[in-house]
Amino acid sequence: MEEQLDHISAEIYQKSYVIVDNFVDKEFQSALLAEQMQLLGQGKFRHAAVGKGGQKQVRTEIRGDEVHWMDADDLSPLQAAYWEKLEEIRKALNQNCFLGLRSFEGHFARYPIGSFYKRHLDQFQAVPHRVVTVILYLNDSWTQDEEGALRMYIPQEDGSELIEDVLPVGGRLVIFLSGEIPHEVLPTKKERISITGWFRNID
């Protein structure tokens, strides 16, 4: 874990993003997936909105996922275990990258077949407090043919962008600086399940 935390910090410091495979083991991943499926079955997911406050709107031509926000005061034991792992990352990033991360917010997400999320930044004027994005993928298996990659546009020093496509392979964790890396979810050919969250610089 110590080594992993150092690796994560170094990559964020140098490249603004990092991909960690098998961040959780199969058992933990399956349990989280089962919990998400149960919440889905209970009708606890809602179409995700874009914008903030009074501007909030469901616009499936921009994003087609459905989400269920985790309640910090009412986490299931599994969710609490995941938050504890993230807490280690938060501390490491503060120690090594001086990001001043103080809290976490996150939701389960489900992208139905054919859905996507167009290019965007997670930190913008109306949402200034998201500093680091953290995504854990939960699908049991994923192949290239199923598409649905996370496409990150990595800014280069010469002003160009490098495209990095990341398949939502179960157990894979992706971390990036919310204000630095525009990204999108390409249309998926399979139901795509994940937990997305943000470390914030406020409580």
Ligand X SMILES: O=C(O)CCC(=O)C(=O)O
Q: Could you list the residues that contact ligand X (CB under 6 A)? A: 109, 117, 122, 135, 150, 183, 185, 194, 196
Quickly list DSSP for 87-130: HHHHHHHHHHH-----EEEEEEEEE-TT--EEEE-SSBTTBTTE
Smaller CB distance to Fe ion: residue 122 or 164?
122
The tokens describing 78, both together, are 């599994």
Smaller CB distance to Fe ion: residue 31 or 164?
164
Least distance from Fe ion to the Cβ atom of residue 190, Å: 20
Q: List the single partner that 139 binds among ligand X, Fe ion, none, CB under 5 to 8 Å by kind.
A: none
Q: Give the containing element (helix H, strand E) for 8.
A: helix 2-15
The tokens describing 53, both together, are 């406050």
Q: List the single partner that 150 binds among ligand X, Fe ion, none, CB under 5 to 8 Å by kind.
A: ligand X
Least distance from ligand X to the Cβ atom of residue 99, Å: 18
Least distance from ligand X to the Cβ atom of residue 3, Å: 25
Q: List the single partner that 178 binds among Fe ion, ligand X, none, CB under 5 to 8 Å by kind.
A: none
- The burial class, CB within 10 Å (0-12 / 13-18 / 19+), for 14 is exposed
Smaller CB distance to ligand X: residue 131 or 185?
185
* Spatial contact of 184 and 117, defined as CB atoms under 8 Å apart: yes
* Spatial contact of 131 and 199, defined as CB atoms under 8 Å apart: yes
Smaller CB distance to ligand X: residue 96 or 179?
179
Q: CA-to-CA distance for 145 and 124, rounded, in angstroms? A: 33
Q: CA-to-CA distance for 63 and 43, rounded, in angstroms? A: 19
Q: Which residues bind Fe ion (CB under 5 A)?
A: 122
Least distance from ligand X to the Cβ atom of residue 168, Å: 6
Q: List the single partner that 9 binds among ligand X, Fe ion, none, CB under 5 to 8 Å by kind.
A: none
Smaller CB distance to ligand X: residue 122 or 164?
122
Least distance from Fe ion to the Cβ atom of residue 176, Å: 9
